[in-house]
Structure 1
Amino acid sequence: MNYNRISMVDNDAMDPMFIEEPDSMITRPTMKEQLHNKVILPMKYNVVDPFNDIISLMDRKSNNVFNFQLWRRFIYFLLVVFVLIFISQYDRIRHYKPIDHDLIREEVRDWIDLNKFEKNWEYLSNLPHCSGTKGDETVSQYVMDSFLKSGMKNVKLEEYKGYLNYPSNETHSLIVFKNNGTDEILKFELGENNFNPLSWNGKVENSFLIYGGDGTKESLQRILENNNNDILDHRDNFVLLLHYDGLVSEQLILAQMLGARGVLFISDKFDQREDVILMKSVAIPQFYTGDLLSPGWEGNSVRTISLNESDAIPHIPTLPLSYNQGQQLLSLVKSEGKNGIRVSFEVKTIVERRHPVYNVIGKIEGREQPEKAIILSSSRNSIHHGAVYPNFGTTMLLQFVELFQIIKKKYNWKPLRSIYFVSFGGNEYNHIGSTEFYEKYSLPLQQELYSIVDITELGINVMHYANSSLKIETHPLLKNLFEDTTMDPNMNVSVSHVQHYGDWIPFLANGIPVSVISDPDLNLHKYPIHTKESTFANIEETLKDNNSTEAIQIFEITIYILDKILRLVDVPNIPYGLTDYVEVVDELLHSLEKDHSKKLNFDKMIRALLRWKKIGTERQKWLNKWQSHISSSKSKKKNHKHNDIESVSARRERCDWNNRLTDIAKKTCSEYGLTGRPFYKALLFGPTFLRQRSDQDSWSFPAVKDSIMNLAWTSAQKELDDVARLLQLSAKPFLRNNAN
């Protein structure tokens, strides 16, 4: 889009500096002469000299009650400040030349250096870099150095404190017994890979082992309904044997509800290998993310709670096993029948209560509305090498930093609004880095941020598809932005609202629109993620040929994301889609109403959505009017040497619209948060405490659905009315000054 900033002067009045000279021998004045003739002399004759005359007159008539020499100096100072402010604003508004985004799309392929990409990727994958380790210090410094080497000036590394744990070097065993624990029949020696981040230290002795399938509500309910009920028979002392489910935290919540003493997780095969162990975090983000000991406030504070008070960690030991180990236990459970088998094991990790976690933060300051910003982020840490995840995402983040610096230098460019580039640490420990970052800067971030785009889950597995495929979870306000593949015909994009946990949760919990761009497989965290097999050696052949399918798809994904970021920060109107917003919320509400229309009254919600539908119509009318104004201005001034095509009033209206739009989602938050889960303040989009049925959505109307699950219908109605009230409240800023 050819968009130019407004000027602080009237373009229709011809400035003498821009009058065309006829062809002759007349020598044009130099820039220094023009500055002297057109700026310094007029300022001297029209401002400084009259000002001196007034001061002299006042000085002569003074009776020395006032010190006019002192006042004169003070007024001179104010005059200089005024002139400097005028010059800075004049330069900011008048001399900005927007870049052609289509041209950037054409050139970006030449800027992408796959050799450098591979070098960065290999370095990041060269050593394990679990949070708080020497490896993470090295990788954090490398990321920071890469930011600085790209030319970014505003870069810093921040340290936060949090609760972390690590595998112990001590030897432990899992022992299996039969005959009520008198006869040992099997023993597994446990190593450092039999480890879940944030596992609870504790001992399980002679506990009955019960197979619980995938540990979902449905699976455990079937066990409870079984006439031959092992759980009820051994309710005081049993351990669950489970396959990993997509949401480990819910498996642990349910296991604790049933009274299990511990949980053993069975890993899947990896490339027909049965000895690989999947080391998933066992944090419970349903209550809160961040440091376990400082829920809701920055971990660097001296104020902490005890570990026993934390709801975000399971209070029973967990132990991950290989597929082979799990199958041996399963066969024994089946062969022993009703008599069953018993297990004893101990989880004893090294605990660091206040250990450092690092974020690397860079920023490109915006030019027109620098107080508005987005974040482009990626998680950085991995229990092992993490080549597939999250290192690919971190490598992409480094590439985007470099690409934006190239644009900035080549075109003397600044975006209309600001961009933060953040490498978050602590993701495997309940997302400490992102949460502590938000808690530290919550007030300015609430004012600044209107979107966070996370690319952690971009990955090499995308190459399994014929076209470049992305799964994008985003706020409905940005649905149309990411669905638009007009310029990217080879992109296969699926878009929905956010439906899983990650470093974006503290922002989503506080009403900041979140977009998670994922490879379809990595979105599900499939193998080899969270295993020691996620190494660069297994993927290093991927980028050897710039014309390979893999390389081409990396180019296409990079261009697609770059385009979306540019549209977020460098088009005049923030690309929020109010029509999509209303349609998605209405669809989710309709699903809720279909199931519970006899129990709940939806009238207030319907009225609120009708109001938003009207606002969406008015927004589109204004956009059409604004575009007509821009087109008309271009036509009238195409031969004018000024580039000003937007009037002062139009710009003021546009910025006002931008400011109001960025508050929409934030105003659907409750000051006190969800009942029992005050960390989550967004009432419209967020996770329910437990997942809903497979045909229902678990990431919308969380407070309402939590109450419904508890059959608390009065509370559910109140929560639904609260959502309607906040929707009406968020609409109020758009109902004033309707003439605009």
Structure 2
Amino acid sequence: ALILYVFGCLKIQHRLYECVFEKMYYFWFFFPTPRDLIQLPRQEEDTDIAMKLLVRWTSCGLEDVQLVNYSVLLDLPGSSSNTVTLKNSGECFYPSGQKCYRETKKLHSQDLLYSYAAYSAKGTLEAEVIDMQYGTVEDLVLIQAMTNVTNKIALLKLGKSPLVYKLSLLEEAGFGGVLLYVDPCDLPKTQNLSGKAFMVSLNSGGDPSTPGYPSIDGNYRQNRSNLTSLLVQPISALLVKRLVSLPENRSKSDGCIPLKLPVTEKRIISLNVQTVPTYKTISNVIGYLKGSTFPDRYVIVGSHHNNVYGYSGQEWASSTAVITAFIQALMLKVKRGWRPDRTIVFCSWGGTSFGNIGSYEWAEDLKKVLQRNIVAYVSLHNPVRGNSSLHPVASPSLQQLATERQSLTCLGKMKCPGSNVSSVQMQGDSDYFINHLGIPTVQFSYEDIKILESPSFLFEALFPAHNTVTEELDPFFNLHETIAKLTGEVTLQIASEPVLPFNALDIALEVQNSLKGDQLDTRQLLAMASRLRESAELFQSDEMRPANDPKERAPIRVRMLNDVLQGLEKNFLVQQAPPGFYRNILYRLDEKMSQFSVLLEALEHCKLHQSNETLQAALSKVLNSINSAQVYFSAGLDVFETAFAGKK
């Protein structure tokens, strides 16, 4: 069993009270190891872990803890591993690069079985392999000019853009299959994963059989076990080297050599992909700490529990432990009579690895309530992924709060070098809340600097993990302590400040910054963004600051102000975005981008189809979003002036 580690005395200062947390413990539950917990034959593995978590949260003193179950469509591996066979030699390989010897056919390890793409098409395809590198639009245009790609198999590197977006391009181009891998040059030298395949999910979110509506009894179930027509198979870098006839150990004096298929050589393979669509029960654990002043306003703190067999087990263990430590520390204060102003909802989601299924189903189930009541989402998805750099991500309206808390927490003994707060797409269950509800979101995590410098979206690969990874990354749990402090402080400030600590002006500034550059004619957009900034400045100076003065805090004034602040980011939700892109256009794909992602993608789309229709549509989406936000600010100001004109 994993051991209970103690953070020691963790005191979080908050200006509303002297000390909210007296002790915070980092719990590695008295659970078996993730490998023992998550066995394929067990039918209730997710529910079993969720029940243990419910008992733990209840024992901490949380009064209202619920287990919420959904029957959902999962795409699981079959009884034998998928295979890749070389046509010229007849050699057969498993995704890891291991040869398909007869004796190993009877010994299919779970690592081999779970090296697959959930919700891929099923079947066998014999075809030529075409090296697509990262599968960018430029790569695709270049290859299409050289050869016919119909029913060919793309050799594709993970990274740079969302996987489902790249697959949509390949599917549209006519490819029949994809061999997916991570180039070792994109990973830190400390991560030796060249001989390991991995799992990916092709599900953008929720139960595929109930797209856009909850998986509750009586709802219609669609037959959507294949979310693409492509046969998709993740493979190891070792197998890639064998496919392209490269030596397994090669190096050059100035660093790593990226993998590339020789142009002059033709490779034909037979790809066999088989998975088993299965309905299974996934469980969410939902706990409520009711607010004393605004109980109908929710601050959600989200973690996740349980991954598929042996994959990223340290992620859910860290995530679950930190949120449980937070609950216990908070409940100590509650026992002495303290309550937050707003309700804090603690959520541990199930089914995250298959496409954030638990969070999607719960949010779809309660969509009307959540649209009205949620004020913020605080994410604890995989808080320690590396140990070299603190990586804060936040909505524009929460960037200032995240920066302030990071600066205060990281003073003195607690050094936490990190990057500036940015609004970029993040992994995990915050997806639905950002993309469908427009909820301001914040997340703190530790990363490896090499990962931050590498192509984005490598996190989409789930590699088999050992239970010792977290202990190696953070042997004294100092990084977890920092994450717990930052998360706790931000949550308490949002839950207890009379006026929500959202910065309206930062949204306007983010919009203006995202329109800079000479690639597009954005004069009309910039003019609209300038009016948005003027409205935001007026709103912030005339309305927000007086309401922060205790003498000016008329209850109706504060409530009206918070209602306006709560809905700011909803104006930036577009009806439709490219696959894998956020519908909330305030978020960029990664830190390397400075403009709206939907505009940059539309520019790339023009190169592929020699048409500017998509670009014009994207420009209209951005213009409408900015106009909507400007009108929203103006309407908020008008309401205030009308409501208080008589009293003044």
TM range (shorter): 0.7 to 0.9
CA contact (8 A) 2:393 2:442 kept: yes
**Deviations 1:473-510 (Å, cap 9, x if unpaired)?**
21111111100034321343431113234311211112
Query: Tell me, what secondary structure is at the counterpart of 1:685?
Result: coil
CA contact (8 A) 2:379 2:442 kept: yes
Amino acid at match of 2:127: S
- Paired position in structure 2 for 1:554: 480
Once residues 560 and 552 of structure 1 are traced to their aligned partners in structure 2, the CA distance between those partners, rounded to angstroms, is 12
Q: CA deviation at 1:122?
A: 6.4
1:516 partnered with 2:443: yes
- Paired position in structure 1 for 2:468: 537
- Paired position in structure 2 for 1:658: 562
The match for 1:711 among 600, 603, 612 is 612
The match for 1:565 among 479, 484, 491 is 491
- Paired position in structure 2 for 1:736: 639
Once residues 473 and 617 of structure 2 are traced to their aligned partners in structure 1, the CA distance between those partners, rounded to angstroms, is 54
Query: Tell me, what secondary structure is at the counterpart of 2:477?
Result: helix
Q: CA deviation at 1:447?
A: 1.0
Label 1:367 to 1:701 Cα distance change in 2 as closer, same or farther (>3 A): farther
Query: Tell me, what secondary structure is at the counterpart of 1:236?
Result: coil
Q: CA deviation at 1:616?
A: 1.8
Alignment of 1:590-629 (within 5 A): 590-591=516-517, 594-597=518-521, 602-623=526-547, 626-627=549-550, 629=551
Name which structure has the greater RCO, CA cutoff 8 Å, separation 6+.
2
Once residues 583 and 497 of structure 1 are traced to their aligned partners in structure 2, the CA distance between those partners, rounded to angstroms, is 13
- Paired position in structure 2 for 1:685: 586
- Paired position in structure 1 for 2:316: 390
Label 1:432 to 1:213 Cα distance change in 2 as closer, same or farther (>3 A): same
- Paired position in structure 1 for 2:23: 111
Label 1:700 to 1:567 Cα distance change in 2 as closer, same or farther (>3 A): farther
- Paired position in structure 2 for 1:481: 401
Label 1:334 to 1:154 Cα distance change in 2 as closer, same or farther (>3 A): closer
Once residues 297 and 291 of structure 1 are traced to their aligned partners in structure 2, the CA distance between those partners, rounded to angstroms, is 9
CA contact (8 A) 1:267 1:323 kept: yes
Amino acid at match of 1:305: Q
1:316 partnered with 2:230: yes
CA contact (8 A) 1:197 1:429 kept: no
CA contact (8 A) 1:473 1:515 kept: yes
Alignment of 1:687-702 (within 5 A): 695-697=593-595, 699=597
- Paired position in structure 2 for 1:250: 165
Label 1:337 to 1:395 Cα distance change in 2 as closer, same or farther (>3 A): same
Once residues 527 and 234 of structure 2 are traced to their aligned partners in structure 1, the CA distance between those partners, rounded to angstroms, is 49
Once residues 329 and 703 of structure 1 are traced to their aligned partners in structure 2, the CA distance between those partners, rounded to angstroms, is 32
Label 1:598 to 1:106 Cα distance change in 2 as closer, same or farther (>3 A): closer
Query: Tell me, what secondary structure is at the counterpart of 1:596?
Result: coil
Once residues 339 and 724 of structure 1 are traced to their aligned partners in structure 2, the CA distance between those partners, rounded to angstroms, is 51
Once residues 361 and 150 of structure 1 are traced to their aligned partners in structure 2, the CA distance between those partners, rounded to angstroms, is 14
Query: Tell me, what secondary structure is at the counterpart of 1:315?
Result: coil
The match for 1:220 among 121, 133, 140 is 140
Query: Tell me, what secondary structure is at the counterpart of 2:135?
Result: coil
**Deviations 1:130-186 (Å, cap 9, x if unpaired)?**
8995332221111111111111111111111322111111355321113xxxx6355
**Deviations 1:212-263 (Å, cap 9, x if unpaired)?**
22323333334345xxx2x42xx33311122322532233222212211111
Once residues 532 and 628 of structure 2 are traced to their aligned partners in structure 1, the CA distance between those partners, rounded to angstroms, is 9
Amino acid at match of 1:245: G
Label 1:217 to 1:718 Cα distance change in 2 as closer, same or farther (>3 A): closer
- Paired position in structure 1 for 2:126: 206
Once residues 260 and 623 of structure 1 are traced to their aligned partners in structure 2, the CA distance between those partners, rounded to angstroms, is 59
- Paired position in structure 1 for 2:382: 457
Higher helix share: 1
Once residues 133 and 404 of structure 1 are traced to their aligned partners in structure 2, the CA distance between those partners, rounded to angstroms, is 34
Q: CA deviation at 1:454?
A: 0.7
Query: Tell me, what secondary structure is at the counterpart of 1:487?
Result: helix
Alignment of 1:613-652 (within 5 A): 613-623=537-547, 626-627=549-550, 629=551, 650-652=554-556
- Paired position in structure 2 for 1:425: 350
Label 1:456 to 1:132 Cα distance change in 2 as closer, same or farther (>3 A): farther
Query: Tell me, what secondary structure is at the counterpart of 1:212?
Result: strand
CA contact (8 A) 2:438 2:572 kept: yes
Q: CA deviation at 1:717?
A: 4.7
TM-score (structure 2 length as normaliser): 0.80
Alignment of 1:64-75 (within 5 A): none
1:236 partnered with 2:150: yes
Once residues 568 and 261 of structure 1 are traced to their aligned partners in structure 2, the CA distance between those partners, rounded to angstroms, is 49
Label 1:654 to 1:667 Cα distance change in 2 as closer, same or farther (>3 A): same
Amino acid at match of 1:239: I
- Paired position in structure 2 for 1:402: 328
Alignment of 1:496-511 (within 5 A): 496-509=422-435, 510-511=437-438
Once residues 244 and 400 of structure 1 are traced to their aligned partners in structure 2, the CA distance between those partners, rounded to angstroms, is 35
Instruction: Give the gaps of 5 or more residues in structure 1.
Output: 1-98, 545-549, 631-648
Aligned-residue Cα RMSD (Å) equals 3.6
- Paired position in structure 2 for 1:343: 269
Amino acid at match of 1:597: D
Once residues 418 and 668 of structure 1 are traced to their aligned partners in structure 2, the CA distance between those partners, rounded to angstroms, is 26
1:157 partnered with 2:59: no
Label 1:517 to 1:334 Cα distance change in 2 as closer, same or farther (>3 A): closer
Q: CA deviation at 1:730?
A: 1.6
Once residues 702 and 334 of structure 1 are traced to their aligned partners in structure 2, the CA distance between those partners, rounded to angstroms, is 27
Query: Tell me, what secondary structure is at the counterpart of 1:101?
Result: coil
Label 1:540 to 1:686 Cα distance change in 2 as closer, same or farther (>3 A): closer
Query: Tell me, what secondary structure is at the counterpart of 2:424?
Result: coil
Instruction: Give the gaps of 5 or more residues in structure 2.
Output: 1-11, 94-98, 185-189, 247-258
Once residues 547 and 333 of structure 2 are traced to their aligned partners in structure 1, the CA distance between those partners, rounded to angstroms, is 28
Amino acid at match of 2:65: V
CA contact (8 A) 1:177 1:186 kept: no
The count of aligned residue pairs is 581
The match for 1:264 among 165, 179, 185 is 179
CA contact (8 A) 1:472 1:515 kept: yes
- Paired position in structure 2 for 1:359: 284
Query: Tell me, what secondary structure is at the counterpart of 2:386?
Result: helix
1:128 partnered with 2:57: no
Amino acid at match of 2:59: K
CA contact (8 A) 2:159 2:458 kept: no
CA contact (8 A) 1:685 1:701 kept: no
Q: CA deviation at 1:680?
A: 7.1
Higher-Rg structure is 1
- Paired position in structure 1 for 2:215: 299
Query: Tell me, what secondary structure is at the counterpart of 2:353?
Result: coil
CA contact (8 A) 1:380 1:390 kept: yes
